[in-house]
């Protein structure tokens, strides 16, 4: 069954099903398409152009030519176009939220929040692009002058995930365009419609043709191989799983591309017994169940000090009992589905394995009946670090609760993972705030707060959670080359 998504929009032109190359909407050369599904109903909502390797090569070549003019424009002129794009995104928030909810499944409230978050990166980097400074270097010789300048790295390949189909685009495209690069973007096959809608608005804002190219494809292997090996691509930016990130990095090695990787996480939340549970509960619920647990910084391991362990579980159980999982079209829905049937199977397999290894089910843990890829809010107790779920990214609405005795033990448990993206902890002890923050081996730490992401802060991880930082003043660095210029015989 195909649902007419365009009929729900105030501006039906934001609903696009073709790829976007050189400022033109393109079908696949062979006419092939792939279906985009509403994960809450299983209905087909779009048939999107399914491009392959040859059209990806074309997009790269076009981007390289378009960038040659773009990088010569002033930073202010580039910023003016990005500012217009930012304003158009905000003006079309509701339509963009509907498109996102239809293809990704999150509630409209969450989608509206992501659109605002997404737009903030465009505005931030419009300004940061005007603050790319160089240096004058004092040299040892009196007749020489040294200068360091920064220049755009070149064509940027971007591969973005389905869980945040708008924000993960703007967080990469914003800095690239602001400093003079061009972008070839492959969005996730599950959620290409948000990317295409952003491209439509970018065109309206005045982005020159060829600067932003959207290659829609179900063939991630073929397109990814081109993006990682083509000589004209100078940088790859990727958000996704650690295994895929490692593969892409290896492929990029053949042409020594710069890479920035935002990969998997295994985020702990540590709740010390001096914490204010009235403050803790909303933070834990947000960190664990936002987007039905499908975020890279989602709370994967909830560590609760033994003195408050039982009270914590009782409070969390009462809170999740109020959840209402449903489609975005149902105003009573508090949470949406998982992205695919396979995602449901993967989450349920982790739960079953934990039970086999001795975990107890406080609530949930059963497959849902009816249409859509829903999994119930689940709380698991009686867990320990020997269980397989301790080292697995759950990516679903499953709260895994562990207990601990001492501060040192909590830190050791939290750090016992190859990942290091985000961590959180709650305490009223100021000494502990500093000590634990510095001891946690993570790129981002939330203290008495779990809503830690914003356009003004550096987002990224330690260890196998990736490399580089997105957002903040550091977010443009990976899109720039530093050139040293030595001027001799100037005396």
DSSP assignment letter at 369 = P
- Angle between helix axes 277-289 and 309-320 (nearest 10 degrees) is 50
The neighbour count for residue 91, using CB atoms within 10 Å, is: 13
Q: Which of 152, 177, 208 is nearest to 24 (CA)?
A: 208
Strands 378-381 and 360-363, bridge-based pairing = antiparallel
Cβ-proximal residues to 486 (8 Å cutoff; 6+ apart), any chain: 139, 144, 145, 146, 147
- List 103, 262, 407, 455, catalytic entry: 262
The neighbour count for residue 169, using CB atoms within 10 Å, is: 26
138: left (phi over 0), alpha (psi -120 to 50) or beta: beta
| CA separation for the pair 325, 99 (Å, rounded) | 19
The full 3-state SS of 268-291, as one line of letters, equals EEEECCCCCHHHHHHHHHHHHHHH
| 325's tokens | 């999982």
Vertex 22 angle, CA 225 and 85, to 5°: 105
- List 110, 252, 296, 393, catalytic entry: 296
Indicate if 438 belongs to the active site: no
C-alpha torsion 54→56→57→61, nearest 10: 140
Cβ-proximal residues to 345 (8 Å cutoff; 6+ apart), any chain: none
Indicate if 296 belongs to the active site: yes
| 170's tokens | 């703007």
Residue 133 contacts residue 201 (beta carbons within 8 Å)? no
- Residue 337: what are its φ and ψ, rounded to 5°? -85, 175
Diameter of the chain measured on Cα atoms: 82
Residue 270 contacts residue 414 (beta carbons within 8 Å)? yes
Task: Note the helical H segments in 129-183.
Answer: 167-178
| CA separation for the pair 99, 103 (Å, rounded) | 6
Catalytic positions: 262, 296
């Amino acid at each position: 069954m195909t649902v007419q998504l365009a009929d729900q929009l105030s501006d039906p032109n934001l609903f696009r099903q073709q790829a976007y190359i050189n400022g033109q909407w393109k079908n696949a050369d062979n006419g092939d398409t792939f279906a985009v599904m509403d994960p809450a109903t299983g209905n087909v909502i779009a048939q999107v152009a399914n491009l392959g390797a040859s059209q990806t090569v074309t997009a790269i070549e076009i981007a390289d030519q378009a960038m040659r003019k773009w990088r010569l424009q002033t930073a202010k002129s580039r910023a003016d176009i990005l500012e217009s794009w930012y304003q158009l995104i905000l003006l079309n928030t509701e339509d963009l939220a509907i498109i996102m909810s239809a293809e990704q499944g999150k509630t409209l409230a969450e989608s509206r929040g992501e659109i605002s978050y997404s737009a903030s990166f465009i505005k931030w980097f419009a300004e940061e692009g005007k603050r790319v400074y160089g240096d004058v270097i004092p040299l040892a010789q009196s007749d020489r002058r040294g200068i360091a300048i920064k220049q755009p790295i070149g064509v940027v390949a971007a591969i973005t995930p389905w869980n945040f189909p708008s924000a993960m685009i703007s967080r990469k495209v914003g800095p690239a365009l602001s400093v003079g690069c061009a972008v070839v973007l492959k969005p996730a096959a599950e959620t290409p419609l948000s990317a295409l809608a952003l491209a439509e608005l970018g065109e309206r804002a005045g982005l020159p043709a060829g600067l932003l190219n959207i290659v829609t494809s179900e063939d991630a292997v073929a397109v990814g191989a081109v993006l990682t090996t083509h000589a004209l691509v100078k940088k790859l930016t990727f958000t996704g799983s650690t295994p895929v990130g490692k593969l892409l990095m290896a492929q990029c090695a053949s042409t020594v591309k710069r890479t920035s990787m935002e990969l998997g996480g295994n985020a702990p939340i540590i709740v010390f017994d001096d914490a204010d549970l009235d403050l803790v509960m909303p933070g834990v619920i947000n960190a664990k169940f936002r987007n039905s647990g499908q975020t890279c910084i989602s709370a994967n391991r909830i560590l609760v000090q033994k003195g408050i362990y039982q009270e914590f579980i009782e409070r969390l159980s009462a809170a999740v009992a109020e959840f209402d999982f449903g489609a975005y079209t149902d105003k009573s829905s508090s949470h949406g589905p998982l992205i695919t049937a396979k995602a449901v199977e993967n989450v349920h397999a982790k739960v079953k394995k934990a039970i086999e290894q001795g975990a107890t089910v406080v609530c949930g843990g059963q497959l849902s009946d009816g249409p859509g890829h829903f999994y119930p809010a689940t709380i698991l107790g009686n867990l320990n670090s020997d269980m397989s779920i301790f080292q697995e990214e759950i990516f679903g609405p499953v709260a895994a609760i562990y207990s601990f005795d001492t501060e040192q033990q909590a830190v050791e448990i939290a750090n016992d993972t190859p990942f290091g993206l985000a961590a959180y902890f709650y305490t009223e002890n100021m000494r502990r705030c500093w000590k634990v923050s510095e001891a946690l081996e993570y790129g981002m730490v939330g203290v008495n707060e779990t809503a830690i992401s914003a356009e003004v802060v550096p987002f990224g991880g330690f260890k196998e959670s990736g490399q580089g930082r997105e957002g903040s003043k550091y977010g443009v660095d990976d899109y720039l080359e530093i050139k040293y210029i030595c001027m001799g015989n100037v005396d």
